[in-house]
Amino acid sequence: MRQFRPVELDAYLKAGHTPTLLDVREPWEAALCRIPGAVLIPMGELPSRAQELDPDAETVVICHHGVRSYHAARYLETIGFDDVVNLSGGVAAWADEVDPSMPRY
């Protein structure tokens, strides 16, 4: 599985790439801060809601620090998603490296 640091993902998006951004945090976390355009499917709901995602689309999985997203990305790979990327460091690193105005928790 590939991994992006936030600065890499930011540059990738600015270059015109349009992966599915999948946020696997809880709703209360997403209410505090989120990367624009991310689809929220909490990790615990992923097995029952994975059919909402396109298994052929490039999917970048996002969480708070990159641990849940790593596990969610591995899960997606086991059910047939071929192009999955983990956001290493999660939204906490996004706030540090890309958007210092993003609220932290």
Q: Which is the catalytic residue, given 41, 63, 76, 95? A: 63
| DSSP string for 51-99 | GGS-TTS-EEEE-SSSHHHHHHHHHHHHTT--SEEEETTHHHHHHHHT-
Whether residue 72 is contained in a domain is answered as yes
For residue 4, list its beta bridge partners. Answer: 87
Which amino acid is residue 104, in one-letter code? R
Neighbours of 97 (CB within 10 A): 15
Whether residue 63 is contained in a domain is answered as yes
- What pLDDT score was predicted for residue 39? 98
User: Which residues constitute the domain of residue 21?
Assistant: 2-97
What total number of domains does the chain contain?
1
Whether residue 74 is contained in a domain is answered as yes
- pLDDT averages per 10-residue partition of the chain, 105 residues: 97 98 98 97 98 98 98 98 98 98 97
Whether residue 102 is contained in a domain is answered as no
Whether residue 77 is contained in a domain is answered as yes
26: domain CATH number? 3.40.250.10
- What pLDDT score was predicted for residue 31? 97
Residue 63: active-site member: yes
For the entire predicted model, the pTM comes to 0.97
Q: Which residues of 3-25 are buried (b: 16+ CB within 10 A; e: fewer)?
A: bbbbebbbebbeeeeebbbbbbb
